[in-house]
């Protein structure tokens, strides 16, 4: 790919995003003790920053100034972080560790973790309404970004997927079968919606033409889908999680079926980029990178 170094690209992007998140979470108007500590703990955690990188890359792909997309990129990562904090809690996944560190509720207590998630979600919208405008994003563009992110993160998107996931787990535990279409619906919402939105808002901020926005949105949906199935394959290859029944593509399709699905989804994602020039190289490389994760 013309000597394009994707690993270096990821490192550079991650450094820019980490610095912006660090700034957001250290320059508060007033100190607020443990809540702020918990918020920092939950966000500054060595995450890969996949979603915000996609936002910057999509903005770049349509010829936009990717610095304008940095506030939206950070807001999306704040939303992703809040969702991990709440998902880890005892009433949901009950996880004690994340990336080798105690989860937020193990480190700060359940009450503070619940509030930390609430605060991060709210901060995301504060950043979208405040930092975007300060960065120079036109108000109507910034408003469209808020609309897309709120829909993706909410009751028909990420939170809705999580709710359907719980219902599916209950039925699996009761010995019922999970239909393939149901699994796709959970994946599309739970992981896919926010990833697709990450790409779409980058396109919006970059001033995408209508066809570009549509193509990148669809690229994002395929990527989000492939991303989750890859995760399912990795999960299925590892230790079973406390005997919990979690909806997983491998359970429904088998390893070969799931691998085939990832391949097809990545092809569809790449097809959506066919009319884009070399500025879409990072997005193309991301799709290939998903195949590499499969090994």
User: Which residues in 127-156 contact a second copy (CB under 8 A)?
Assistant: 128-130, 133, 139-140, 142-143, 146-147, 150-151, 153-156
- Counting every residue written for the chain, the total comes to 295
- Distance of closest approach, residue 231 Cβ to a second copy, in angstroms: 20
Which tokens sit at 22? Answer: 């660090």
102 lines the binding site for a second copy (CB under 8 A): no
Quote the CA–CA distance of 6 and 2 in Å, as a whole number: 11
- Distance of closest approach, residue 243 Cβ to a second copy, in angstroms: 18
Stretch that binds a second copy, among 52-60, 122-130, 216-224, 264-272 (CB under 8 A): 122-130
Spell out a b/e string for 261-294, using b for 16 or more CB atoms within 10 Å of the CB, else e. Answer: bbeebbebbbebbeebeeebbbbbbbbeebeeee
177 CB-side CA count, 13 A: 5
- Distance of closest approach, residue 195 Cβ to a second copy, in angstroms: 17
Partners of 97 in the beta sheet? 102
Among 121, 195, 204, 229, binds a second copy (CB under 8 A): 121
Closest CA relative to residue 103, chosen from 116, 92, 118, 88? 88
178 lines the binding site for a second copy (CB under 8 A): no
Quote the CA–CA distance of 207 and 13 in Å, as a whole number: 20
Number of residues near a second copy (by CB under 8 A): 52
Residue with tokens 């980058």: 202
35 lines the binding site for a second copy (CB under 8 A): yes
- Distance of closest approach, residue 120 Cβ to a second copy, in angstroms: 8
| Binding site residues, a second copy, CB under 8 A | 28-30, 32-36, 39, 82-83, 86, 89, 91-92, 109-112, 114-115, 117-119, 121-123, 125-126, 128-130, 133, 139-140, 142-143, 146-147, 150-151, 153-156, 159-160, 162-164, 166-167
């Amino acid at each position: 790919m013309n000597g394009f170094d994707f690993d270096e690209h990821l490192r550079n992007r991650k450094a820019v995003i980490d610095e912006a998140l660090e700034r957001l979470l250290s320059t508060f108007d007033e100190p607020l003790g443990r809540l702020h500590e918990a918020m920092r703990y939950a966000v500054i955690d060595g995450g890969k920053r996949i979603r915000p990188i996609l936002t910057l890359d999509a903005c770049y792909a349509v010829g936009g100034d990717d610095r304008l997309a940095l506030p939206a990129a950070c807001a999306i990562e704040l939303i992703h972080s809040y969702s991990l904090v709440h998902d880890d809690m005892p009433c949901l996944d009950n996880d004690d560790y994340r990336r080798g560190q105690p989860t937020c509720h193990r480190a700060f207590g359940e009450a503070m973790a619940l509030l930390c998630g609430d605060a991060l979600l709210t901060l995301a919208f504060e950043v979208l309404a405040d930092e975007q405008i300060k960065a120079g994003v036109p108000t109507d563009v910034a408003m469209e970004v808020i609309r897309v992110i709120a829909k993706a993160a909410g009751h028909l998107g990420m939170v809705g997927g999580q709710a359907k996931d719980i219902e599916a787990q209950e039925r699996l535990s009761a010995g019922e079968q999970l239909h393939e279409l149901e699994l796709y619906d959970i994946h599309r919402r739970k992981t896919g919606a926010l990833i697709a939105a990450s790409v779409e808002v980058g396109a919006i901020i970059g001033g995408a033409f209508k066809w570009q926005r549509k193509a990148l949105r669809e690229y994002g949906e395929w990527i989000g889908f492939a991303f989750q199935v890859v995760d399912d394959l990795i999960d299925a290859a590892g230790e079973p999680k406390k005997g919990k029944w979690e909806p997983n593509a491998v359970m429904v399709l088998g390893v070969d079926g799931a691998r085939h699905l990832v391949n097809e989804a990545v092809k569809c994602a790449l097809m959506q980029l066919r009319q884009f020039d070399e500025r879409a190289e990072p997005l193309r490389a991301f799709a290939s990178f998903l195949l590499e994760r499969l090994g």
